[in-house]
Chain A
Amino acid sequence: MTQEKFYYDNKIVKLFAYATLFWGIVGMLVGLLAAAQIAFPSLNFGLSFTTFGRVRPVHTNAIIFAFTGNAIFTGAYYSMQRLLKARMFSDFLSKLNFWGWQTIILLAAITLLAGFTTSKEYAELEWPIDILIAVVWVAFGWNMIGTLIKRRVQHIYVAIWFFLASFVAVAVLHIGNSIEIPVSFFKSYTVYAGVQDAVVQWWYGHNAVAFFLTTPFLGIMYYFLPKAANRPVYSYRLSIVHFWSLIFIYMWAGPHHLLYQALPDWAQTLGVVFSIMLLAPSWGGMMNGLLTLRGAWDRVRDSAILKFFVVGVTAYGMSTFEGPMLSLKTVNALSHFTDWTIAHVHIGGMGWNGFLTFGMLYWLIPRLFNTKLHSEKSANMHFWIGTFGMLLYSVPLYWAAFTQTLMWKEFTDTGFLAYPDFLDTVTQIMPMYVTRTLGGLFYFGGAVMMIFNIVKTVKSGHIINNEEAHAAPREKVAKARLAGETPHRWVERKAVHFTVWILIAIIIGGLVEIIPMITVKSNIPTIEAVKPYTPLELQGRDIYVREGCYTCHSQVVRPFRSETERYGEYSKQGEFVYDHPYQWGSKRTGPDLARAGYRGGTMFRPAIWHYEHFLNPQKTFEKSIMPAYPWFFDNTIDNSTLKRKIEVMITLGVPYDGAEKDYNFVNKNGDVDYNKVEKAYKTQAEGIAKELQDMGKDVTWDKEIIAMIAYMHKLGKDISLAKIAEKKANEPKVEQTNSGEINLEAGATIFANDCAACHGQKGEGGMGSNLGDNFTLHGASNDDIKNVILNGAGIMPPFKKFTESEIANLTAYTTSLIGTNPENGKEPEGEEIK
Chain B
Amino acid sequence: MENKNIDPKEVYKEYNEKFDKKLMIDHDYDGIKELDNPPPPWLMWLFYFTVIWAVWYLAWFHWFDMGRLQEADYQHEIEEAAQKYKVTAMDTETINILTAEEDLVRGAEIYKKSCVACHGAEGQGGIGPNLKDNEWIYGKDISKVFGVVKNGTEKGMTSFKSLGDEDILKVSSFLLKKL
Contact = CB atoms under 8 A, between A and B. Distances in A.
5 contacts: A153-B29, A277-B47, A600-B159, A602-B162, A605-B158
Interface in B53-93: 53-54, 57-58, 61-62, 69-71, 73-74, 77-78, 81, 84-85, 87
Contacts of A421: 113-114
A232 B32 contact: yes
A233 B35 contact: yes
Given A234-B37, A237-B36, A612-B127, A600 B151 contact: yes
Interface in A787-803: 792, 797-798, 800-801
Contact of A415 (B20, B31, B81, B157): B81
Contact of A604 (B40, B136, B159, B162): B159
Contact of B153 (A153, A600, A800): A600
Given A561-B77, A724-B154, A801-B138, 17 more contacts: A83-B30, A155-B29, A159-B29, A223-B30, A232-B34, A235-B39, A236-B24, A273-B57, A274-B54, A280-B46, A414-B87, A416-B165, A565-B161, A602-B159, A606-B155, A800-B135, A801-B136
A284 interface: yes
A622 to B, nearest CB: 9
Contacts of A276: 50, 53-54, 57
B159 A601 contact: yes
Interface in B132-174: 133-139, 151-167
A600 B152 contact: yes
A566 B35 contact: no
Residue of B43, B57, B62, B84 with most chain A CB atoms under a 10 A cut-off: B43
A279 B46 contact: yes
B93 to A, nearest CB: 14
Contacts of B126: 612
A236 B34 contact: yes
Given A294-B16, A414-B166, A797 B37 contact: no
A322 interface: no
Interface in B17-47: 19-20, 23-24, 26-27, 29-40, 43-44, 46-47
A157 to B, nearest CB: 4
A241 B47 CA distance: 11
Contact of A565 (B9, B37, B162): B162
Contacts of A411: 81, 85
B16 A295 contact: yes
A287 interface: yes
Contact of B62 (A157, A266, A612): A266
A185 B12 CA distance: 62
Interface string A289-310: 0010011101000000000000
A570 B74 contact: yes
A213 interface: no
Interface of B: 8-9, 12-13, 15-16, 19-20, 23-24, 26-27, 29-40, 43-44, 46-47, 50-51, 53-54, 57-58, 61-62, 69-71, 73-74, 77-78, 81, 84-85, 87, 113-114, 117-118, 126-128, 133-139, 151-167
Residue of B40, B46, B135, B160 with most chain A CB atoms under a 10 A cut-off: B40
A277 B139 CA distance: 61
Interface string A603-635: 111111100100000001100000000000000
Interface in A228-273: 232-239, 241-242, 245, 260, 265-266, 268-269, 272-273
A214 to B, nearest CB: 17
Nearest to B40: A287
A602 B113 contact: no
Given A269-B57, A269-B61, A414 B85 contact: yes
A415 B43 contact: no
Contacts of B39: 235, 237-238, 241-242, 284, 287
Interface in A451-491: none
B29 A604 contact: no
Nearest to A795: B134
B159 A268 contact: no
B73 to A, nearest CB: 7
A417 interface: yes
Contacts of B32: 157, 222-223, 226-227, 232-233
Contacts of A724: 154
A328 to B, nearest CB: 10
A146 to B, nearest CB: 19
